[in-house]
Amino acid sequence: MKRRIKTRGLAALITSIVALAALAAGTSNAQTTGAVTRTFSFIAKPNSKTSTLLNINSLLINARCDAKGSPVAFAFSSASSADLFGRLFDGLGRVHIIKNSAFTRSSKGVSLSPSSGDFDSTGSVLFETSSGRVVTVNYALDNATTLNRTNVCTVYGSYIAT
């Protein structure tokens, strides 16, 4: 009788562990293969034309320098529905939140530049389409006092796309 209880207890324990593992796993569209990693660099004089930094998985990011030599960067999406969330830290340590949880083909671009006058900044944005495509972008930007006081602005960084 004791042997039956131990066997039943062990079977119940194993069944419980398997059930918990299955519940914890859930469902996922996680893709771990086929990731693309690239870098980008934009350096231009004040009043420059707009240049494309990246265009992948329905995410387009472009940049230009305004008349004062400050960088202006925007993100656009050609997806029918997507999300974009991020954070930008300026040179004074202020945080600027970047978000658009209803990105569509007709949405206006989202600014990736700081709203303050300090353009020594770093940022990170994450983008996802409704089909599960993901792009993570890490970037920095600086105004016309950058690169040893050269009269240029710059936007540079890297991205990973699946």
List the chain domain ranges. 36-161
Cα torsion angle, 109, 115, 121, 122, sign: negative
Closest listed residue to residue 112, CA positions, set 120, 123, 104: 123
* Residues contacting residue 34 through CB under 8 Å, at least 6 positions apart: 162
At residue 115, the pLDDT reads 80
pTM: 0.78
4 has a pLDDT exceeding 70: no
Q: How far is residue 17's CA from residue 13's CA, in Å, rounded to a whole number?
A: 6
Categorize the per-residue pLDDT at 116 as very low, low, confident or very high, splitting at 50, 70 and 90: confident
Categorize the per-residue pLDDT at 32 as very low, low, confident or very high, splitting at 50, 70 and 90: low
